[in-house]
Amino acid sequence: MRKFFAVLTNEYRKIVLKWTFLIGTLLFPVLGLVFAFVPALIFSLTGEPTRLVIVDPSGRLAPRIKSSLSAERLAERAEDDARSRLKEITEQQSHDLRSSARSAAVRFIFVNYDANGRTAEEVRNELKAMATSKEIDAYLILPTDPMAPNAEPEFRSRKGGDFVANTLITEAVNDAVRSQRLADAQISEATARRLNSRVVIDSAGIDEKGNEKNSDALLAASFVIGLMIYITLAIYGQVIMGAIVEEKETRIAEILFSSARPFELMMGKLAGVGLAGLTQLGIWVGSLAVLVAYVAVQADMSEIFGLLPTISPIMVVYFLVYFLIGYFLYASIFALIGSAVTTVQEGGQFAFPPMMLMLVGFYLSIAVIRDPASPIAFWASVLPFFAPLTMPVRILAETPPFWQIALSIALNLIAIAGLVFLASRVYRVGMLMYGKRATIPEILRWIRQA
């Protein structure tokens, strides 16, 4: 055991004390913030206002469309939509929400155009010429009888990729037609607004104890946990393979084998690298918890804590257990691959299958979130290779019976024992093989004869 701990300590220090470990540890939270906020920042950039011409031969819809597309109305809609997602909101938050909605709202400038005395084709050609010469950005031609069943307004834009503006115009036309139909039916504007008002549903999940839980927060937390486990397993599996190939290329293994048994060397290497991965994962989880607490306090959003899914101490224990299970499962596979190849490039080719297994497990976790009690959730959370990624998500979504968790752990421990046994036999012989990549028949022979 003394030699095992010596190898473990050496591998752990060799990884943790490198500057690449520090950079990688800091880079993941930074990239997480980038992917979380940059897309929202990009979508909030409205760019230049859209210069729009509306041709309405009937004169019935244009005022309603312009009213729907006004900056004030668009800001109100954005504010109402955001407000509907929050159950309680303070006056300061309401003011901030209103300011954000107004700054992010798409802006339209309505360009006057006189279509009198021109045919429909002349109007269309002239507007196309104005768009081509960049006098306008878009035009909307309404039918002579917009209330007709088969009436089709014509919209053309130089900004064809601006799906936000295009969607707003489509909604504005539909709202205008609907309002006009109600007016034709002698229904007052106030009644029309009441009829058209959206119903906000108070939606929440229910756990096994009958308590309410926030489904959106659950989805986000499950995704983050699954992603962290996936990235950590992928990174440190590759680290194991690279370390073994490096020792093989530099022939350090010959010296190491003279002072310790191959099994002790391999297990010490697996445990040391795994402890480094656990250290990094702990830093990520702790940083995430501190960040959420800081944002909630600074923004006076204490209700955020009420939206977060409940994570009990036993859940944390389960997450650690399944991280270690996943690590030793995949690290054993990568160790076996590293023992059988001669270069890191060759190992990268053989690393594709285990990487795909991890990716499948990550995608299966999405199905687990949707229905934690389904048969696919049960099998995905107990079978080896998938359970390390799916069972933590299932426990967070809806804790299964203890016998299922015990069965999952038992099956995965059996798989680990088998993989470690195979990897140690391949490691014992493969580390002393140089010059050529081992074939599958040779690997099978090593397993039988070692």
Q: What is the pLDDT of residues 380-416, one digit of tens each?
A: 999 998 998 899 888 887 888 999 999 999 999 999 9
CA separation for the pair 299, 185 (Å, rounded): 48
Q: What is the pLDDT of residue 387?
A: 92
Q: pLDDT value at position 5?
A: 83
The CATH fold assigned to 46-202 is D-Maltodextrin-Binding Protein; domain 2 (3.40.190)
pLDDT at 59: 85
Q: Please, what are the averages of pLDDT over each run of 10 residues along the chain (450 residues)?
A: 81 84 80 70 67 88 86 68 54 50 63 85 90 90 84 85 79 86 79 71 66 65 75 81 76 69 79 85 78 61 53 81 88 84 75 86 84 89 90 85 94 90 78 66 71
What integer pLDDT is reported at residue 104 of this predicted model?
45
* Lookup: tokens for 36: 């979380």
Distances (CA, A) of 343 to 130, 338, 340, 424, 448: 63, 8, 10, 19, 25
Phi-psi region of 435 (alpha: psi -120 to 50; beta: other; left: phi over 0): left
Statement: the pTM of the whole predicted model exceeds 0.75: no
Q: Quick count: other Cβ atoms within 10 Å of Cβ 221?
A: 19
CA atoms within 13 A on the CB side of 282: 9
pLDDT at 94: 52
Question: For the chain, what is the HEC assignment?
Answer: CHHHHHHHHHHHHHHHCCHHHHHHHHHHHHHHHHHHHHHHHHHHCCCCCEEEEEECCCCCCHHHHHHHCCHHHHHHHHHHHHHCCCCCCCHHHHHHHHHHHHHHCCCEEECCCCCCCCCHHHHHHHHHHHHHCCCCCEEEECCCCCCCCCCCCEEEECCCCCHHHHHHHHHHHHHHHHHHHHHHCCCCHHHHHHHHCCCCCCCCEECCCCCEECHHHHHHHHHHHHHHHHHHHHHHHHHHHHHHHHHHHHCHHHHHHCCCCHHHHHHHHHHHHHHHHHHHHHHHHHHHHHHHHHHHHHCCCCHHHHHCCCCCHHHHHHHHHHHHHHHHHHHHHHHHHHHHCCCHHHHHHHCHHHHHHHHHHHHHHHHHHHCCCCHHHHHHHHCCCCHHHHHHHHHHHCCCCHHHHHHHHHHHHHHHHHHHHHHHHHHHHHCCCCCCCCCHHHHHHHHHHC
**Quick one: pLDDT at residue 207?**
61
Residue 101 pLDDT: 45
- Residue span(s) of the chain under CATH 3.40.190.10 come to 46-202
